[in-house]
């Protein structure tokens, strides 16, 4: 998530692909029909036709998800959606609800891009960090569309395909949720083994990958900008409903910018959400406000237990940034999951029910790497900051009056937390200041945690070990030098 020009017309010249955006001398002005009148279809048509659209009104109603591709499935690259100069923000009202037959349906959002994943193939040999070529089974040999130069591929660690004996195929070749790398194919050559292909990639790998993991086809969306949009579900607490997945939900976005995106009275699962495979995106000056009070939905209400889960979310991202943004009254305020080189700067989070900030792994334990939080404040709520399975991750923020300060996980499913750096401060926690997880034997699986956090010696349970439920159990001994080290700011407080 690096800073880019806010106005960008894109001409893509990819071998085998020519995608030329329509010329536009000025943005198209879209006048909303009024609150309660659904403008979903009309706005989608305007975005397809003009790509750069300004909304001339303070409110707009969007009651059906707007897919960010055209009628032929071509992504709306270069899209810009914002208010006209007459309005500082536009409030997007929505009656979209979660899919009762699939509560994890990410497309249930006012603006959505799903990536058009299609079955591809699998790795026939392991790959390593820094590799610029992978070897995969030719999809054509297993009745799928083969790879071409210019294709984007999704190398997915959590979906494994081991073909039955004597067969090149396997039951599923589609991607699953979880850790992956997005790469573009720049050249193709025959592999050393029959019916395999060597695929040259547009950039080196940043993770190692095992044989037989999925390599799927996918589409990306490039250089889209959403600016100064506020979202509300007009939630009625006396009659709980389960709102959208998120206001804006983008898979496989490259160089996207979500600027000044807010929610209020929001009954959705999350706030602005960048999902798997995204690279070099930005969320900036955005704030998600959940519901301060959530009524218990009636038994049997579809998707009811999941409201206001993640305020700002960067999931499966690479080199993405979250800048001057935050959340209140979500289960977790700002969340970075199984990402690489992805950080949040100057976050502001209050009253998170579980974790103010969280940098975590996927469901199989594949870690986030070189990611975390720099600057900002967490006030109140549960754990101020949670470091899940992570490698080289950072938390340097100020945590005030939370239940506990910073919790660092140990290990999960064979993956271990290593090289965590903790800074900032923890003030007035009601439970503990810094906690490192321990396993059933009492050992601390995480290694190389560097602690230089301003945490007053008088704080109750200033430095503790944690069991699997993250409950403080005992002061940490000084014999765990492989597990952690303390800097002068942390240490000198208790001399």
The pair of structure tokens assigned to 207 is: 């993770």
| pLDDT given at position 22 | 47
CB distance 155 to 184 below 8 Å: no
DSSP 54-112: EE-SSEEE--S-EESB-TTS-B-TT-EEEE-TT-S-EEEE-----BTTBTT-TT-SSEE
Question: What domains can be seen in the chain, in order of their start residue?
Answer: 11-115+222-492 (2.160.20.10), 118-217 (no CATH)
| pLDDT given at position 6 | 30
Closest CA to 340 of 432, 415, 427, 276: 276
| pLDDT given at position 460 | 76
| pLDDT given at position 293 | 80
Angle at 405 between CA 304 and CA 354, to 5 degrees: 0
CB distance 308 to 148 below 8 Å: no
Closest CA to 9 of 54, 50, 69, 68: 50
Per-residue pLDDT of the chain (495 residues; tens, 9 = 90+): 323 233 222 222 333 333 334 445 699 999 999 999 999 999 999 999 999 999 999 999 999 999 999 999 999 999 999 999 999 999 999 999 888 788 888 999 999 999 989 889 999 999 999 999 999 999 998 888 999 999 999 999 999 988 887 677 776 777 888 999 999 999 999 999 989 999 999 999 999 999 999 999 999 999 999 999 999 998 665 555 578 999 999 999 999 999 999 999 898 999 999 999 999 999 999 999 998 887 666 677 777 666 799 999 999 999 999 999 999 999 999 999 999 999 999 999 999 999 999 999 999 999 999 999 999 999 999 999 999 999 999 999 999 999 999 999 999 999 999 999 999 999 999 999 999 998 888 889 999 999 999 998 888 789 988 876 556 666 666 555 678 999 999 988 876
Q: Which residues in 179-309 belong to E strands, given as ranges?
A: 180-190, 196-201, 213-218, 221-222, 225-232, 248-250, 253-254, 257-264, 273-274, 282-284, 287-289
DSSP 396-431: EEEEES-SEEEEE--EETTEE-B--EEEEEEES-SS
Rounded to two decimals, the pTM is: 0.91
| Distance set, CA 218 to CA 182, 184, 221, 451 (Å) | 9, 10, 10, 41
What residues does 227 pair with on adjacent strands?
Answer: 259
Cβ atoms within 10 Å, residue 393: 28
In degrees rounded to 5, what are phi and psi of residue 40?
A: -55, -55
CA 130 to CA 112: how far, in whole Å?
A: 32
Query: Strand, coil or helix: what is 39?
Result: coil
The pair of structure tokens assigned to 78 is: 């270069």
CA 112 to CA 64: how far, in whole Å?
A: 11
């Amino acid at each position: 998530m690096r800073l880019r020009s806010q106005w960008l017309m894109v001409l893509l010249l990819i071998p085998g692909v020519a995608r030329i955006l329509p010329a536009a001398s000025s943005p198209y002005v879209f006048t909303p029909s009024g609150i309660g009148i659904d403008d979903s279809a009309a706005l989608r048509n305007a975005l397809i036709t003009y790509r750069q659209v300004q909304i001339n009104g303070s409110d707009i109603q969007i009651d059906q998800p707007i897919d960010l591709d055209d009628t032929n499935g071509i992504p709306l690259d270069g899209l810009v959606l914002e208010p006209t100069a007459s309005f500082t923000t536009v409030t997007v009202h929505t009656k979209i609800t979660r899919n009762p037959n699939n509560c994890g349906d990410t497309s249930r959002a006012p603006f959505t891009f799903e990536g058009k994943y299609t079955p591809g193939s699998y790795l026939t040999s392991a790959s390593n960090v820094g590799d610029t070529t992978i070897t995969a089974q030719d999809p054509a040999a297993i009745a799928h569309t083969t790879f071409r130069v210019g294709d984007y591929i999704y190398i997915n660690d959590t979906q494994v395909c081991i073909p039955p004996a004597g067969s090149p195929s396997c039951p599923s070749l589609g991607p699953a949720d979880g850790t992956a790398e997005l790469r573009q194919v720049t050249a193709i050559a025959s592999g050393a083994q029959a019916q395999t292909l060597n695929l040259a990639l547009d950039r080196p790998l940043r993770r190692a990958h095992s044989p037989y993991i999925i390599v799927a086809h996918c589409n990306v969306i490039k250089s889209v900008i959403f600016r100064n949009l506020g979202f509300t579900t007009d939630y009625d607490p006396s009659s709980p409903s389960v709102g959208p997945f998120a206001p804006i939900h983008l898979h496989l976005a490259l160089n996207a910018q979500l600027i000044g995106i807010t929610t209020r009275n929001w009954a959705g699962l999350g706030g602005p959400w960048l999902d798997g495979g995204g690279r070099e995106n930005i969320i900036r000056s955005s704030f998600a406000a959940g519901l301060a009070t959530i009524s218990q939905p009636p038994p049997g209400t579809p998707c009811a237990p999941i409201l206001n889960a993640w305020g700002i979310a960067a999931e499966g991202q690479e080199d993405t940034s979250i800048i001057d943004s935050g959340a209140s009254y979500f289960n977790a305020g700002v969340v970075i999951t199984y990402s690489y080189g992805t950080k949040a700067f100057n976050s502001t989070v209050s009253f998170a029910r579980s974790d103010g900030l969280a940098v975590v792994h996927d469901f199989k334990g594949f870690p986030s790497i070189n990611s975390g939080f720099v600057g900002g404040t967490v006030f109140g709520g549960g754990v101020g900051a949670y470091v899940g399975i992570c490698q080289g991750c950072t938390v340097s923020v100020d945590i005030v009056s939370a239940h506990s300060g910073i919790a660092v996980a140990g290990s999960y499913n064979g993956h271990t937390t290593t090289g965590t750096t903790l800074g900032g401060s923890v003030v007035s926690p009601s439970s503990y200041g810094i906690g490192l997880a321990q396993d059933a034997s009492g050992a601390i699986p995480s290694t190389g945690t560097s602690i230089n956090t301003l945490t007053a010696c008088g704080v109750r349970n200033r430095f503790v070990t944690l069991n699997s439920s993250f409950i403080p159990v005992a002061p940490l001994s000084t014999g765990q030098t492989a597990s952690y080290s303390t800097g002068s700011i942390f240490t000198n407080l208790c001399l």
